[in-house]
Chain A
Amino acid sequence: MTVQQVIEQDTPPTDPRRESHARAWRAHGVGFVVKVILMGVVNALGIMAIISALSVQSWLLVGVTTILLIAADIVYFTRRALPLKYLMPGLVFLLVFQVFVFGYTAYIAFTNYGTGHAGSVEQAVDAALVQGERRVEGSATYPLTVVERFGEYGFAINDGGDVRVGTETQPLQDAGSASGAEAPASVDGWTVVPRAQLLTDQEVQAAIEALRVPVSDDPNDGSIRTRDGSSGLVYTPTMLWDADARTITDTVSGTVYTADDTTGSFVAADGTRLPAGWYVNVGFDNFLRVFTDASLAGPLLSVTVWTFAFAIGSVVISFGIGLVFAIVFNDPRVRARKYLRTLIILPYAFPAFMSALLFRGMFNAEFGVINDLFFFGSQINWLGDPWLAKAAVLWINVWLSFPYWFLVCTGALQALPKDTLEAAEIDGAGKWRQFRAIILPLLLVSTAPLAISSFAFSFNNFTVIYMFNAGGPPIPGAPYSLGSTDILISAIYRVSGVAGGAADYGLASALSIIVFIVVGIISAIAFRQTRKLEEYQ
């Protein structure tokens, strides 16, 4: 350090507080302008998000966005909290893309959300009423006009030459005669609602859609409703909703369906349910089902065992192959090493799902190249035999991931301290001894954390399984038709039922949380072991 520098450091700056570029007008001042513009953009986007959240009445979103926006303004306009200024964007992304997603999955895992339990109670009631409203058999279709008086809407129909008018409370009554078979053009004492307004005003549409005009004083005669605003049909409701008792009564059969908030369904005394239910909190039911439902627990256990075998096998074998290739191609005696290395990493550059699809064809027992070329055209049923299918899936995953280990090991080998190896050679250690005592331990220190992440990736490698053979061949008698190469994540996809149309998102979320916990625990243990490795070193 020169004398000059020491003096400069010791002299206090001329300005008692050095200001950052982001608030200084002196010097350039550009930094401040940029910051103000950026914050303007952030605020504008935030306010827009809040307004649109308000318009769809999503209060949670309004609250979170407001808090985040205020926090952003405080952080960037205060003199303090310097670290937060750097951390804030990352934290926001973490919150939105990690914490929220996980929280939402956890929330779904405690509900029965899925087909048949997709909306709220009101929507389930609506659905039951809609599904229960029947057209009176053999009834006519009447030309119809929507009319209005003192803010109350009504229907005017042409009933074979007679104009009849009514409202929700007032059954149809005669109001003169009409010419021809057209809908009444004008009705005395009523204002005709123009068709353009009818079709374009959402409030009017909702009112007309909900309007039922009784045909007569006897409710059994049904009521007129219109679906398009120009024709009226006679309908009778077969489902009656009692909001106080929370029951739906089927007027045809007399069955009473009671709202059951523990299952989210309308249930009758004999156990039958209405098709549409709503989603409710079911507590730990989904988690309990995984462990107590014998038909689910057994196959899931075998799937879990295979998942571990698949993930560990993929990592260990591809690491081994990658390491061997790395050592071979690291030897200066090998010619054209650059080109050979490029060739080896090709599988890594090819999209995994395409490879899996191609392999599906190549492993075909009758038409596949693998049997044709390597097994002299014998019909080995790779995709149909559980063990062969497992071997094939493992083979594909190794083929896809060994180039990664080749790259990593090549890098790690080149970073090994040359002097240590030379010292070992001088001490008389052979190649094998050098590898075992020096190269491998040093290599493991740098690659073990990568092996753990690779394990977690293989553990959840849905693409390969699904694209290659969709988990097949099926295990006879397994629930959800689980297959013998299904790993946990593809089993969850089957259990969720999304592909078949009868989705059970609650159960699938519960399963995915269990998988998350398993992977988390294994990673934690493995990282501890890795740290020990470093200490040993």
Chain B
Amino acid sequence: MRKIIGIGVAAAASALLLAGCSGGASPDEETAASSAELVIWTDAEREEAISAAATAFEEETGATVTLVQKNFEDLRNDFISQVPTGEGPDITVGSHDWLGALVAAGVVDTIDLGDKSSEFEPVALEAMTYDGQLYALPYSLETVALVQNVDLVGAEAPATWDEMIQKGIAAGTERPFVINTAGETGDGYTMYGFQTSFGAPVFVQDASGSYTSEVGMKGAQGEAFAQWLHANGSAGTGYLSTTIDYDINNELFASGKAPYTIQGPWAISSFPDVNVAVNPIPSAGGEPAAPFVGVQGFYLSSQSKNALLAQEFLVNYLGTEDAQRALYEADPRIPAWTTLGEEVASDPIIAGFRASSQNGVPMPSIPEMGSVWDFWNSAEAQIINGADPATTWNQMTTDLEGTLAG
């Protein structure tokens, strides 16, 4: 008998608790039935700017927008793994070079900007386009450029690598030039402007500008670039060194021990005491130096249950000059919105990076790119460390082609 009482009391207690929980939840659920919710993944930098656009959207449509803050590095893998299970967001912030992997995983939906597309920088839309379809609303561009110390070498842009080194030596600093190689890891990204000036792109682009999976950096041009790395590495002039990582690079430049470096806008805040000027990257191999341009934007989940609402928010709320300006102010990168880009180009530093990005090419977003970095970076590190340039470089392109084929 007592046992039955016990179970009865327990049941009553759990019923009470359940009622307590649902008592708070049920009015919400009722409204949820009539007002949909958009879940947006963002990183800390952009959260505030998006929430400004979200407030206007909530007021006008009655929908709720929930922002979930995550580490930027986690967004891609979490998005790929959670969208298929139905746990993913409706929209996520992301970088354009994730696109290939997102398309292969089938987790992104196409978007249509309609007439708005003319408002964006062409390179930004091109970067967010995969196989002829637009997959994201772009909002910012980023690229590396030549950052120089005005007090040591003036603001004038050197045209070639040799001219820059001459000026650097004339400045009488510890080193004429410094560049991040990510330590022993190698950094093909930062070095890419010099590589393209030898005419050795990582992948061949077709007539429309889309990347094919054909490796473009093999052959004579690639070997010439490898020779250049070797000649300026530890076995040669020593201007390139695997002892330089991101922090050491910035430290050397900030303390005036090197008048030139190649860096992105994200590093400018590390040089508070330097009078900097930003210019396009000088050519080392004769052809124009085309650094990678990265584009950030907003992806739409292919499994979104609120597809119309999400499109509405993307195109009509985030795709406006005010929202783009708020994003720029929250996280100052080169805007993808053309008129805004022209407006902020009054800042000479932004103008310098913008000029560099106009020389640049979108970083490949094809899934094959994921396999490239490790091979490419480590081959560059080995050559800078004195390995035989032609052999190492050709070995790398052969391995890479093998991996891509397999």
Contacts and interface: CB of A to CB of B under 8 A. Distances in A.
Nearest to B57: A199
Nearest to A79: B3
A480 B402 CA distance: 12
Q: Name A's interface SS.
A: mixed
A116 B105 contact: yes
A227 B86 contact: no
Nearest to A125: B106
A502 B370 contact: yes
A44 B17 contact: yes
Contact of B183 (A141, A208, A469): A469
A196 to B, nearest CB: 6
B104 A276 contact: yes
Contacts of B308: 198-199, 205, 208-209, 226-229
Contacts of A124: 106
Contacts of B21: 44, 48
A173 interface: no
A366 interface: yes
B374 A494 contact: yes
B369 to A, nearest CB: 8
A106 to B, nearest CB: 18
B107 interface: yes
Given A40-B10, A228-B308, A131 B131 contact: yes
B105 A118 contact: yes
B63 A44 contact: no
A381 interface: yes
Interface stretch (B141-149, B320-328, B342-350, B381-389): B381-389
Given A227-B307, A476-B395, A477-B395, 7 more contacts: A39-B14, A123-B303, A229-B312, A384-B242, A384-B385, A476-B387, A502-B367
**7 interchain residue pairs of minimum CB distance:** A127-B106, A40-B13, A481-B374, A119-B84, A474-B378, A276-B106, A502-B370
Contact of B302 (A41, A44, A48, A126): A126
Contacts of B340: none
B84 A36 contact: no
8 contacts: A77-B6, A115-B101, A141-B114, A233-B114, A472-B184, A472-B381, A474-B381, A501-B100
Interface in B32-86: 34-36, 61-63, 76-77, 80-81, 83-84, 86
A126 B13 CA distance: 47
B11 interface: yes
B24 to A, nearest CB: 13
B367 A116 contact: yes
B277 to A, nearest CB: 26
A1 to B, nearest CB: 36
A276 to B, nearest CB: 3
A130 B107 CA distance: 10
Contacts, number: 223
Given A206-B305, A477-B395, A77 B104 contact: no
A470 interface: yes
A201 interface: yes
Given A43-B11, A474-B378, A119 B243 contact: no
B255 interface: no
A141 B115 CA distance: 8
Contacts of B371: 497, 500, 502
Interface in B1-39: 2-3, 6-7, 9-14, 16-18, 21, 34-36
Interface size class of A (residues with CB under 8 A): 35 or more
B367 A44 contact: no
A48 B25 CA distance: 12
B106 A501 contact: no
A437 B289 CA distance: 72
Contact of B36 (A205, A276, A360): A205
Nearest to B395: A477
A496 to B, nearest CB: 10
Interface in B372-406: 373-375, 377-378, 381-382, 385, 387, 392, 395, 399, 402-403
A128 B131 CA distance: 12
B36 A202 contact: yes
A231 interface: yes
A11 B314 CA distance: 82
Interface in A91-120: 115-116, 118-120
Contacts of B16: 40
Contacts of B111: 227
A124 B247 CA distance: 43
A292 B355 CA distance: 51
A118 B17 contact: no
Contacts of B375: 481
A44 B83 CA distance: 30
